[in-house]
A and B are shown apart, each in its own frame.
Chain A
Amino acid sequence: MSSERTDTADVPPLTEGIAPGTATDPDVSSDEPATVTVDGIEVSLDAGDTLLDAVEAVEPDESVPALCSYDRQEIGPRSECRTCMVETDAYGVVPACSFPVEDGMTVSTAAEAAAEARDVNLDLVLSDHNLRCTTCGKNGRCELQDAAIDQEVEEPRYGVLDDREEYEPIDDSSSFIQIDRNKCILCNRCVEACNDVQVEGVLRMEGSGQDTRIGFQNDAATMEESTCVSCGHCVTVCPTGSLVEKGIEDATTIPIPGFTQKNSVGKTYENSGETKGPMTPKKRPERPDADGESATADEGSSAGDDPGGVWSDDGGDWP
């Protein structure tokens, strides 16, 4: 799930201060085995399976990208991209990756409303993605590229993120992991890998609207200043070229003379030289806040037990 509860007594102290900034989703998995029909074919599902498992068990009439779904290691479903919408008899158009399965459900992938939603939503993902595949280290092993090819996208109806004015700098400050947020689709896999699987509490979702981005829980501006221990789990789950391992960040780029990932984006945070790579900096004991307060120590646990207080934005970055 996207974030573990931090306000119950049985949470180990280790996770108390983790604040991924994401909602605490309900459990969307089914309790019992079920049989559903996908495009006319019956599929038997185990307890805990999703409609997406059913869709993937057959040759569906229409391809269902389910771009942001990861479905391993307790990561997801985030159900953010909505490119897995399918039509059900009982509930209309629903996201296959995160809709609780009920015995006897009938699912159609080719229904017009669902197909249109998948198609438009994939184009919406592309509209905010810097589609510079030729200089991307994930060229040829990118889930967004695969989905776009499967869906036969030729000309995304909303264009792509190609306004260089709007690009965020590449974060090349860490010795191990490079972040290019212009390629991020905000699937939240890295945040969950970091907080729920590795329990490191480094990455978080922050901001809102078009300013939504992956940031650091210690408010650092760069990876180098974060409390990252360079375990690399976030890189292994990233579907796009947003998080890549240093050393192979250009492994699959197409060599066009004079044209690189960095000059295509135009701005980069480079390593300050203070950290000695390849060596992981020691994890800091607390976040270096300007006000000297540990911004996680006095929320979470207290806010949950005492809802009588006035809500305060405690060092967060919004509104």
Chain B
Amino acid sequence: MAAVGSTGVGAVEPLVLVTHDGRTAAHARCTPDRAADVVAAAADDPDGIADGADAVVEHEPGRPRLPALDLSGLDAGDRRVLGACGWRRPTEPADHEAAGGFAEHEATAVRDAAADLRGRGWGDWCRDRPLGGTWDAARAADGDPCVVVNGHGNPADALLLASAPFEVLEGAQAAARAVGGDRVVVYASSDDARAVEAVREAAERYPDPAASVDVVAGPPEYRAAEPTMALEAIEGNHRLEARLRPPGPEKEGLHGCPTLVHTPRTLAYLAVALREGGPADTRAVTVTGDVDAPATVELPESETLAAAVDAATVDGEFKAACVGGRFGGVTRSLDVAHAPEDLAEAGLGTEGVVQVLAEDRCIVEFVGKRAQFASETNCGRCVPCREGTTQLAERLRDVYDRNYDAAGIEELVRVMERSSICAFGEDAGRPARTAMAAFESEFEAHARGRCPAGRCMETTEGIAQ
């Protein structure tokens, strides 16, 4: 009996897995009573574990990763990086060691593995860029480098910290070694209490860490995931705003020291690449929005968004998706691969979050609320973001007053993208820009006083809410 972390697929949890002799039986959505029955039955008759199970799978005895199960969200193939989630005890070093963890890798080997590995998520200073150049700059900079693990705000990152913290810490230790650093700081949102607790316990139990590890819980605001605001929060500033760049944290970061800022995903991919002698060409993707329960899955980069959305059950009829987190791109088509260049080409984001929008959603309302969110939660430092998001929200509201200035909105979003200090402002206009392209007719209908989704128009008779 062992308590493991979440698999990332909420719809099948609480999940009870019974493993015996190269076979694992899965019991999904277990009540405490049913779990007790399953455990008792398995103790009585270990060969009969398949009875009454929702899925059964054969695998190598002693397998270190969760096997693919015939359950929605867990059937997408081998979880090479998320495999520890729901399979190994999160804070038990022995489990990680049995999976080949805690191996010492030469600094040069780590640097080779990182050279072409791309950073994942907007919390990663090397978002979509190979880590190599940034690491070289950190090594060349004055001062002792440190590694910040930025696990703030992304569901897959929080999952890794909560369910597989040793994967993340091992990647962080390797990164520290590779740049000659002796300090790791793990940073997560205070809203992700489980992640903070798990990684704190794992850090305490990490065998012979070369670099010291501290865990800091930061404020839960969305903007606090921005890499330089993460540094400000760790340094204890009572107010968060983005720092100027360049130079980036790799030259002058935490307390002025050269700092690598990577997400748990990036570091877990690094750890797995070192262990397996090559990177996993997969992506961790979380499906949220109008679905039965959020699901985090791992898919090959060549797989399409449709495969990710298949991991969850859409509430109603699929209409669109916002791809790339809070400020992702809005698309009708899920026929886009997960590789960053494919997503970028389609105008979508690479945050690894796909928010499903069902048929009864109004796109104009959706992007209006996103713009409003951006205007209320930005740090307030730079004009293109602070004033730009405010104007964007107002111009989207003007659509309800029969005034749809597409060219003006496009111009504004273009300038926000080009001249904001940080990624918050660079990305904030993306939902509006992409939705206007994909759902032009909806915007034009609103400008004529009609909401195709039938959600807005009672309100526009008077004043749009």
Complex CA gap A313/B219 in Å reads 8
The B-contacting residues of A in range 74-117, CB under 8 angstroms, are 77, 79-83, 85, 92-93, 95, 98-100, 113, 116-117
Pair A205/B251 contact, Cβ less than 8 Å: no
Residue A8, interface by CB 8 Å: yes
The A-contacting residues of B in range 330-380, CB under 8 angstroms, are 375-380
Q: Which of B240, B244, B391 contacts A26 (CB 8 A)?
A: B244
Residue A127, interface by CB 8 Å: yes
Of chain A, the residue at the smallest CB distance from B215 is A308
Q: Which of A7, A207, A313 contacts B255 (CB 8 A)?
A: A7
Pair A7/B387 contact, Cβ less than 8 Å: no
Chain A residues near B380: list those with CB within 8 A.
186, 205, 207-212
Residue A24, interface by CB 8 Å: yes
Residue A27, interface by CB 8 Å: yes
Residue B192, interface by CB 8 Å: no
Pair B381/A23 contact, Cβ less than 8 Å: yes
Residue B256, interface by CB 8 Å: yes
Interface of A is mostly: loop
Q: How far is the CB of A128 from chain B (nearest CB, A)?
A: 5
The B-contacting residues of A in range 16-66, CB under 8 angstroms, are 19, 21-28
Residue of A24, A85, A95, A124 contacting most chain B CB atoms (<10 Å)? A124
Pair A120/B415 contact, Cβ less than 8 Å: yes
Pair B418/A113 contact, Cβ less than 8 Å: yes
Pair B419/A85 contact, Cβ less than 8 Å: yes
Chain B residues near A158: list those with CB within 8 A.
387, 391
Pair B382/A79 contact, Cβ less than 8 Å: yes
Chain B residues near A140: list those with CB within 8 A.
none
Complex CA gap A23/B300 in Å reads 39
Interface pick from B34-42, B60-68, B128-136, B229-237: B229-237
Interface size class of B (residues with CB under 8 A): 35 or more
Interface pick from B165-173, B304-312, B406-414: B406-414
Pair A28/B246 contact, Cβ less than 8 Å: yes
Pair B236/A304 contact, Cβ less than 8 Å: yes
Residue A285, interface by CB 8 Å: no
Of chain B, the residue at the smallest CB distance from A82 is B419
Q: How far is the CB of A278 from chain B (nearest CB, A)?
A: 33
Complex CA gap A158/B411 in Å reads 12
Complex CA gap A208/B238 in Å reads 12
Complex CA gap A211/B239 in Å reads 13
Pair B384/A308 contact, Cβ less than 8 Å: no
Residue A299, interface by CB 8 Å: yes
Q: How far is the CB of A29 from chain B (nearest CB, A)?
A: 10
Complex CA gap A83/B418 in Å reads 12
Q: Which of A28, A79, A80, A309 contacts B247 (CB 8 A)?
A: A28
Complex CA gap A5/B241 in Å reads 15
Chain A residues near B375: list those with CB within 8 A.
209-210
Of chain A, the residue at the smallest CB distance from B216 is A307
Chain A interface residue count, CB cutoff 8 Å, equals: 61
Known A-B contacts A26-B247, A117-B415; the reply to A210 vs B185 at CB < 8 A is no
Of chain B, the residue at the smallest CB distance from A85 is B419
Pair B242/A23 contact, Cβ less than 8 Å: yes
Complex CA gap A90/B298 in Å reads 36
Pair B244/A98 contact, Cβ less than 8 Å: yes
Q: Which of A22, A100, A113, A157 contacts B241 (CB 8 A)?
A: A22
Chain B residues near A77: list those with CB within 8 A.
244
Chain B residues near A23: list those with CB within 8 A.
228-229, 232, 237, 240-244, 381
Residue B217, interface by CB 8 Å: yes
Of chain A, the residue at the smallest CB distance from B241 is A23
Pair A80/B383 contact, Cβ less than 8 Å: yes
Chain A residues near B419: list those with CB within 8 A.
82, 85, 93, 95, 117, 121
Q: How far is the CB of A217 from chain B (nearest CB, A)?
A: 10
Of chain A, the residue at the smallest CB distance from B253 is A26
Chain A residues near B389: list those with CB within 8 A.
209
Of chain A, the residue at the smallest CB distance from B185 is A307
The A-contacting residues of B in range 235-281, CB under 8 angstroms, are 235-248, 251-252, 255-256
Pair B387/A209 contact, Cβ less than 8 Å: no
Of chain B, the residue at the smallest CB distance from A206 is B239
Chain A residues near B232: list those with CB within 8 A.
23-24
Of chain A, the residue at the smallest CB distance from B224 is A311
Of chain B, the residue at the smallest CB distance from A3 is B237
Residue of A22, A207, A311 contacting most chain B CB atoms (<10 Å)? A311
Pair B378/A124 contact, Cβ less than 8 Å: no
Scoring A residues 124 to 164 as 1 if CB is less than 8 Å from chain B, else 0, what string do you get? 11011000000000000000000000000000011000000
Residue of B237, B384, B390 contacting most chain A CB atoms (<10 Å)? B237
Of chain A, the residue at the smallest CB distance from B254 is A307
Chain A residues near B246: list those with CB within 8 A.
26, 28, 99-100
Residue B218, interface by CB 8 Å: yes
Q: How far is the CB of A273 from chain B (nearest CB, A)?
A: 33
Chain B residues near A27: list those with CB within 8 A.
247, 252
Residue A258, interface by CB 8 Å: no
Chain B residues near A206: list those with CB within 8 A.
239
Chain A residues near B421: list those with CB within 8 A.
79, 82
Complex CA gap A127/B408 in Å reads 15
Known A-B contacts A26-B243, A307-B216, A310-B217; the reply to A19 vs B238 at CB < 8 A is yes
Residue B151, interface by CB 8 Å: no
Residue of A23, A81, A121, A316 contacting most chain B CB atoms (<10 Å)? A23
Chain B residues near A85: list those with CB within 8 A.
418-419
B interface vs A, CB < 8 Å? 185, 190, 214-219, 221, 223, 228-229, 232-248, 251-252, 255-256, 375-384, 386-391, 408, 411-412, 414-415, 418-421
Given A21-B238, A116-B411, A117-B415, 10 additional A-B pairs, CB 8 A: A28-B246, A99-B246, A116-B414, A117-B384, A121-B415, A157-B408, A208-B379, A208-B380, A302-B236, A308-B214
Chosen A-B contacts, 10 in total, with CB atoms closer than 8 Å, are: A23-B243, A27-B252, A77-B244, A80-B382, A82-B384, A85-B419, A117-B419, A299-B236, A309-B216, A316-B238
Give the top 5 A-B pairs by smallest Cβ distance, nearest first.
A303-B236, A212-B380, A26-B252, A316-B238, A124-B387
